[in-house]
Structure 1
Amino acid sequence: MPYIGRFAPSPSGPLHAGSLVAALASYLDARAHGGTWLLRIEDIDAPRTVPGADRVIMRQLQTLGLRWDGEVLWQSQRDAAYRQAMDALAARGLVYGCACTRREIVENHAALEKARGARQALLDGERPYVGTCRNGLPPGRQARAWRLRVPPGEESFIDRWLGAQRQDVAHAVGDFVLRRADGLWAYQLAVVVDDAAQGVTDVVRGADLLSSTARQRVLARLLGARPPRVMHVPLILDPATGLKLSKQNHAPALDLARPVEQLGLAWRALGFGPIAADTPARFLAEAIPQWARRYKG
């Protein structure tokens, strides 16, 4: 299949050093495979969207020489597609309403652990949903969110950076949300629907999203889509706090007065040696064949 990759930033602020590592890796992998590189603006989470940040991100990418192919897709314009996907799942009995609050989810999981007499290792600190509303809402309660009935079984896949991975989604995550209590579409549904619609064959992104991969693969197959290959690249950590650089942690925007320097820092974070270049175009022309020798195939 022809290679189709994508970079999908959330417009909650400008790109920073951490997001550039993911963008650069995604771009290089697409170009090394002679493929298409798409840009998707994941603005589905309206409360976190900063007006104008999408255009800032696009200008940053262009300044860095990371030019995408085709038209940009905005998730905020995709409501009908997400609704159609959820309706298709609901018609098969795979969706149900859930009345649980965040506090109740934590308390119900703690009660289950106590009953079992054993603690469960948490996935990125996330409490699995224990299925409280799976067989119907409690008396007097109304649905706040809508969840997917996750089938039993282990999901296995090969990550092109991290190697063999496996996860029992039903156990580690539980039935996950497709539409949130605030009425917004959940990231997990939106990303799977959009990857399928755009024909994405390969996803290269930060390692913080590795824990979402298994559930996205489960959902993709339930929607009749082929899950893309994945590569999860290292995160950039703040040396002062040890936390990943992110917009939520107030990571500074890229200094685009020196775009080649910014590309070089991201390149070295991906495990490569220095490149001598005076423009982004020349830098990328050197980087693409080096990436291909290591990661093509």
Structure 2
Amino acid sequence: MALLSSAPAWPTEPGFVSRALDVAAHLADEAGDVLSATAGRATRPGGSNSPFDGGSNSPFDGGSNSPFDGGTDSPFDWVRDTHAVLDRHTRRVLAAEFPGIPVLGPDSRPDDPGATPYRWLVTPLDGEANYVAGLPWYAYSLALMDPSGPVVGVVTAPGGGTTYAAARGRGVRTQEGPVRPHRCRDTEGAIVCVEPDPECPWPGLATFVDRAGAARASARVLGSAALSVTQVALGRAAAAILPRYREAEVAGALALAVEAAAVVVEDAIGLPDGALLLCAPGVVGEVLSWLRD
């Protein structure tokens, strides 16, 4: 799939983009509060009681069937239920604020967009295994896309207590202000994020990791596609490679990466079909050389 278009950028009205960014950031902050409060719930001493009472002031009250009422049968039901509640809340808010723009998730099939060139892509919980274990590498991701690529993108990393937001031509921001990423110019001593897919093994991954090690880079598996891409956007990683990915999982982080001037590669010698590679501009040539025979 092509995440970015080589055609001229689709025209967007500044006020519309500002409103979309504000709504997306607010949704991400709300999701971050829910995820951080419930992560690792089954591993906590004393059981899995929910911190949510479903009170009248909660946007996640969900009525009498709320998954946060402590009445689920399995100690792991909260994972599925948290995902469902965040997805439902996101769709409800976006439908009210931006009627007519479809909202798609990782497993959604694109519908006829009708008269609008836009679509929202949401992943309520990326990095599920980390979330279950109470490890910090999990995220909520939301992006507004048009035919040119991401218009607005947000990624909240509750484990780090930060929401990252970007809009086309406006850079990357957090709650504290603009983010100015450190520019990685050398792979020596750098981090390279890899996200292997057990359902679709890539035979070249071991070679890629070996070559990264030979260049004195360190490969790391974060267990979250969104956060791996985000690390490149922030300059914390030199590159991230996803042998297979779902568009909704990476769209929010891709908005950050594009605004941070990261290089997005979807077609290169040695890169498997359907893969995604992101690099800091100064290391593109070297990282691509790790893919070649």
Q: TM-score, normalised by structure 1?
A: 0.23
| Higher RCO (CA-CA < 8 Å; seq separation 6+) | 1
Point out the structure with max Rg over C-alpha: 1
More strand by share: 2
